[in-house]
A and B are shown apart, each in its own frame.
Chain A
Amino acid sequence: MKKIVVTVAFAAAILVGNSSFAADKNDPGYIVKEAFKREFAQVKNVTWDALSAEDGIYKASFVLNNESVQAYFSAGGEYIGTARTISVNQLPIMVIKELAKKYDTDTVQDVLEYSSGNEVSYYITTATNKGKLMLKATGNGTITVHKRTKQGM
């Protein structure tokens, strides 16, 4: 149950927008920092943000292989997942193929790679003259509509 709450809060935080708190509330404390070190031992420079007071989620922002990455942890030190913005060309082959097949006329605006546990999923925002779509894709090329926004809304 806790995992579901944390995952939902995490997804909401990365997809809808981040609501940071005052600077003194952004320090995640010893347990979270140690959890971060276990996951990303090679990373030295990290910026922390508190994302959700009620669920206690902290975001670590850092650079890995010259790319900006965000990792998310619960206040108890549980590693929730990682997100980064990627290009269309970094999508798995089957996702590129299905996008070209089904959304050929759409313009891809951004792509977010989201890793959690042993799974990687991709959130792709596309635009047409009718509105925007946020698609969710998995590595095997399965694409579903995650969110639909009509033009002018």
Chain B
Amino acid sequence: MKKLMIGLVLGAFIITNTAFANNSNNVNDKVQTSFKQEFATAQNVVFSKTNNYIKAAFTLNNQVMEAYYTADGEMIGVSKNLLSTELPIGLQVDLKRDYVDYWISDLFEFATNSNSSYFITVENADQKITLQSNGNEWVVYKKAKKA
């Protein structure tokens, strides 16, 4: 179930533009308590929700992050956008070596309580490829030809 939820959240990032309803008044106590336990020093917290999960957008260490929860208050994962120069050096080197003729259209980190990965979308005139980091290496997560 949790894996399915992670897939839904990642899908929202990579494939679709999911619409969130700003509805912080209706976020239940379980989610708010769970969030406060994990991110006690977070600031500028705004909750919103879809049919499938609840999102908390906030700043931590002056960085904008988003945490995703089930209605039961279970954390699905946390994400933040970053620059390619902020990637670990091994991932930067592999990217420069293997995708030198591509441009970067999206880059974010997605972390769960047990794992953390970077997702980068690179494009050229013909295709769009989303890569997921596995340690110091990239693996293809999704590949699509452009129309």
Q: Chain A: residues with CB nearer than 8 A to chain B?
A: 39-42, 64-67, 69, 82, 84, 86, 88-90, 92-94, 96-97, 100-101, 104, 113, 115, 117-120, 139-141
- Fill in one digit per residue for B39-67: 1 if any A CB lies within 8 Å of its CB, else 0: 11100000000000000000011110100
Q: Are B111 and A93 in contact (CB under 8 A)?
A: yes
CB of B114 within 8 A of chain A? yes
Q: Are B90 and A82 in contact (CB under 8 A)?
A: yes
Which residue of the partner chain, among B62, B63, B80, B90, contacts A115 with CB atoms under 8 Å?
B90
Q: Are B86 and A97 in contact (CB under 8 A)?
A: no
Known contacts A65-B92, A93-B80, A101-B40, A139 near B61 by CB under 8 Å: no
How far apart sit A84 and B82, CA to CA, in the bound complex (Å)? 18
Interface size classification for chain B: 20 to 34
CB of B96 within 8 A of chain A? yes
Chain A residues with CB under 8 Å of B38's CB are 97, 101
How far apart sit A60 and B127, CA to CA, in the bound complex (Å)? 36
Known contacts A94-B116, A97-B78, A65 near B60 by CB under 8 Å: no
Q: Are B79 and A93 in contact (CB under 8 A)?
A: yes
Interface of B is mostly: mixed
Number of A-B contacts (CB under 8 A): 84
4 smallest beta-carbon distances between A and B, as pairs: A118-B135, A93-B111, A139-B116, A115-B90
Q: Are B89 and A113 in contact (CB under 8 A)?
A: yes
Chain A residues with CB under 8 Å of B109's CB are 92-93
How far apart sit A114 and B84, CA to CA, in the bound complex (Å)? 17
Q: How far is the CB of B43 from chain A (nearest CB, A)?
A: 11
Q: Are A96 and B93 in contact (CB under 8 A)?
A: no
Q: Are A113 and B88 in contact (CB under 8 A)?
A: yes
Q: Chain B: residues with CB nearer than 8 A to chain A?
A: 38-41, 60-63, 65, 78-80, 82, 84-86, 88-90, 92-93, 96-97, 109, 111, 113-116, 134-137
Q: How far is the CB of A3 from chain B (nearest CB, A)?
A: 16
Q: How far is the CB of B3 from chain A (nearest CB, A)?
A: 17
14 intermolecular pairs with C-beta atoms under 8 Å apart = A42-B97, A67-B85, A92-B109, A93-B79, A93-B80, A93-B109, A97-B38, A115-B136, A117-B136, A120-B90, A139-B111, A140-B111, A140-B114, A141-B116
